[in-house]
Amino acid sequence: MILHSNLRNLVVGVEEKVPLINGSSVTYINFDNAATTPPLHAVMDEIINFAPWYSSIHRGTGYKSLLSSDIYEEGRDVIKSFVNADHQKDVVIYTKNTTESINLLSYVLAEKDDKQVILASDMEHLANDLPWRDKFTIDYVTIDKNGMFSLEDLEMKLKKYRGRVKTVAVAGASNVTGYKNPIHKIARLAHQHGAKILVDGAQLAPHSPIDMKDHASPEHIDYLVFSAHKMYAPFGIGVLIGPQETFERQEPFCKGGGAVELVSHQFIEWSLSPHKEEAGTPNVMGVVALTAAIRTLMSIGMNVIDQYEQELIHYTIQKLTSIPDLRLYCCAEKNEDRLGIISFALPGIHHELLAKMLSYEGGIAVRSGLFCAHPYVEKLLGLTPKKLTYYQQQPDIPFPGLVRLSLGFYNNSNEIDLFIDLLSEIAQNKQAYKEKYQSEC
């Protein structure tokens, strides 16, 4: 077990200094982990160690090619173990990222039947919304007054469509509010009505345990997607996990070498999945990085990471509630089970300007805007269709949004205190800071 005090040492770049607007420099504080995380030392070491042995995979007979092929294929088993996928029935398909994974699945599941329905939710990232729109009838499970997923509305809509719902596509956790969705309860409801469930695990996988459960379980997760770049592993790879039988009928989304057994001008014999879905030269470096990251996360313990980040986020929420005028968009109840994500607004300072102030004044990285979850943030902000039309027709007027802080397991309470001090100072001296940035930025 790795102690909390040592977690920071596992991550590259945590002590790097960055310049401030006044000419000095400070140690960078990264609170933008929901967008992407810095790499682990173990990941970079594994990449460097593997680089001399890197070679093209599959069909090569040279030693390096055989070694690379074995590492590439063994990565699938590491990933399955990480989320408790079925090693016989499920396949792991390598993609570029979560977005490509969902686009691929939407293509595979699409049928020439306009009666098929996808149920997404009002809190989804655009990656789990837009790919479904042109292939299915799509409807959205509503959120409650706190912005949380409504199980009651899900059940109502499943009954409404009378078996026409093909898949319930839902985030494992929100990238805006940090709410964890009850994915196994959602799975049970979906299966009761003959539907499958896709979990977008991009936010959940780096921070909390995921259990896909046995295929015979009513709470089984049929499809799961996530990205390496949010799991301390750059090099551009994501995964789509699901039952092999799903991918047997459709032609591949991307066609080319590596996806076939034999081709002539008269016929095409496609490979079996997962290879059928991985045309072209595979990203073996990405697999090396992801598997190294997973092994490190598992050595820490996903429950340990989850508990530590929850302690840190509740500490942060407690501090934030003491700042005058600050509005939080993340708290349904005290000490709830959640990810280390907080979104907030400071009336009187536009979200983009506030994010810049935190960066330029304190070297603190946060995200601002709509976080690629536009409908969700628009609902949280109470933007009516009339207001949305107004902003769409007035592109020169800054669009409303939020500021988001998102934690990783390497962040600590000292960083939180520095952030709170600066944010409090800005809140107490809004006009002075706004005048400063009007002249200097």
Residues designated catalytic = 372
Are the C-beta atoms of 212 and 80 separated by less than 8 Å? no
Residue 434 — φ and ψ, nearest 5°?
-65, -40
Q: For residues 176 and 404, is the Cβ–Cβ distance under 8 A? A: yes
CB-CB contact of 358 with 368 (8 Å): no
Residue whose entry in the numeric block shows the structure tokens 């280390």: 340
Q: From the centroid of its chain, how far is CA 351? A: 22
In contact, 355 and 368? CB cutoff 8 Å: yes
The rounded Cα 249 to chain-centroid distance in angstroms is 29
Strand 367-369 versus strand 402-406 pairing type: antiparallel
Instruction: Give the dihedral sign, CA 284/288/293/298.
Output: positive
CA-CA-CA-CA torsion sign (251, 257, 259, 264): positive
- Residue 211 CA to residue 208 CA, distance in Å, equals 10
d(CA 30, CA 365): 5
Q: Do the Cβ atoms of 174 and 337 come closer than 8 Å? A: no
CA distances in angstroms from 1 to 11, 309, 428, listed in the order given: 17, 16, 43
Residue 132 pairs with which residues in a beta bridge?
A: none
Strand 341-345 to strand 402-406: parallel, antiparallel, or no bridges (unpaired)? antiparallel
> Bridge-partner residues for 119, per DSSP?
139, 168
| Cis peptide preceding 274, ω within 30 of 0 | yes
DSSP letter at 38?
P
